[in-house]
Amino acid sequence: MDTFDRATLRALAEHNSDVCISLFMETMRNESDWSQNTIRYKNLLNQARDAMREQDYRDDQIETILTPARALADDTTFWRQVSDGVAFFLTPDTLQTYRLPLQFSEMVTVSDHFHLKPLFPLLASNNRFFVLALSQNNVKLMQGTHQSIGEMDARAVPSSLQDASPGVEDDAEREIQNRTANRTPDGRTDQMYHGHPHDSDDNSRTVKPELQQFFRSVDEGIMEYLGDEEAPLVVAGVSEYLPMYRNVNSYSHLVENDVVAGNPDDLRPAELHAKAWAVVEPIFEQTQQEALDAFDQHYHQNGNLASGDFHEIVPASAYGRVDTLFVPVGEHRWGRFDPTTNTVELHDDREPGDYDLLNYAAVHAHLNGATVYALRPENMPNGQFVAATFRYPADVTATEEG
């Protein structure tokens, strides 16, 4: 799975070109279904070709732009390593691909900038999380959404105790596994562990110093990848490891009071995802409800600090005035916005050169430091199509043209 973070989003958002092609597709992960991936991918490229023809590009121009993307259809290594979905971003000079734990609806856009809103479940504050699957023989940093989970290419994180400390034997691992296996009468090790590290025995006194240093090395690698992140990190590992790792942890958004206990090597990805989601879902629900309550309070008591007016929210997102933005999943509002003149042009159906203004608002609000929630349309506050709270009164309303 590929890494997608705020820096990646910013680079894509700031990429300007006469032609920016965005393609999204769900992918099949079973080997017997791999042929369907390339067939559907080629169909999306044909849709991009047709969209460019509608915008009066010549066939030779179109083929020059699409040729690198067409070659990817024959790259078997790429398609063997897919996650649940793939996003493709193509210009005349570049082709960028992201294999991600999202089941995208198939979509193609051709504009002068990339369409990024389908990626927002990875960046929205109510959906994205990380899992550290921790054992001496196999360490994985994983990224997840409500849909799925996938391993990140986090090479700075040692993959095992042997990787962090060559030559170290795994006697401590066997000792801990034996002790853990005998903890309950039925021998189960997959219980949820609750409480702060100081609420448990100090197992660090009984484990080799190499193991403590191993956890420090893991933490250093985690911080290299997640230092600027704000998404929760869940630890999955045998119970004896968990207080030890908390003691060396530097990531400020580690989930301390709930973990996935047990050897993660014994869990299939779907099982690990289900257990981890059970940990983070209550956290997301609580913070989301607090944001919805704040919107409701501002909306009814101080109209200057909350709005459901599309013409106020789009410029406020562009000018860095939005504190919290709520956007509906699967909805679009086609048109264009000119921040220099503060004018917006809206269309009922997508026209050549249009882009999704909900995408525009979400991207710019996020890059300007706002908290963004991607909600199902029926969960939008007060039934609004789009909603936001502001850092200070956003008294700028875009003028509509067309």
Distances (CA, A) of 104 to 84, 85, 91: 8, 6, 21
Distances (CA, A) of 332 to 30, 61, 115, 322, 364: 32, 29, 11, 20, 16
Mean pLDDT throughout 281-309? 91
H/E stretch holding 213 reads helix 209-226
State the Cα–Cα distance between residues 244 and 169, nearest whole angstrom: 19
pLDDT at 32 over 80: no
Q: pLDDT class for 21, splitting at 50, 70, 90?
A: very high
pLDDT digits (tens, 9 = 90+) for 147-187: 888 888 788 888 887 776 654 444 545 554 554 455 544 44
Per-residue pLDDT at 1: 66
pLDDT digits (tens, 9 = 90+) for 305-337: 999 999 999 999 999 999 999 999 888 899 989
Mean pLDDT throughout 55-83? 89
pLDDT digits (tens, 9 = 90+) for 91-109: 999 999 998 888 888 999 9
Average pLDDT of the chain to the nearest whole number: 83
Contact 82, 33 (CB under 8 A): no
May I ask the CATH class of domain 6-117? alpha beta
pLDDT at 276 over 90: yes
pTM exceeding the 0.85 threshold for the entire prediction: no
Partners of 140 in the β-ladder: 133
Per-residue pLDDT at 194: 36
Phi first, then psi: give them for residue 337, nearest 5 degrees.
Answer: -130, 135
Which superfamily is assigned to 302-401 in CATH?
A: Ribosomal protein L30/S12 (3.30.1330.30)
Q: pLDDT class for 79, splitting at 50, 70, 90?
A: confident
Per-residue pLDDT at 195: 35
Per-residue pLDDT at 304: 87
pLDDT at 390 over 50: yes
State the Cα–Cα distance between residues 68 and 328, nearest whole angstrom: 34
In the chain, what are the domain boundaries? 6-117, 129-283, 302-401
State the Cα–Cα distance between residues 176 and 182, nearest whole angstrom: 10
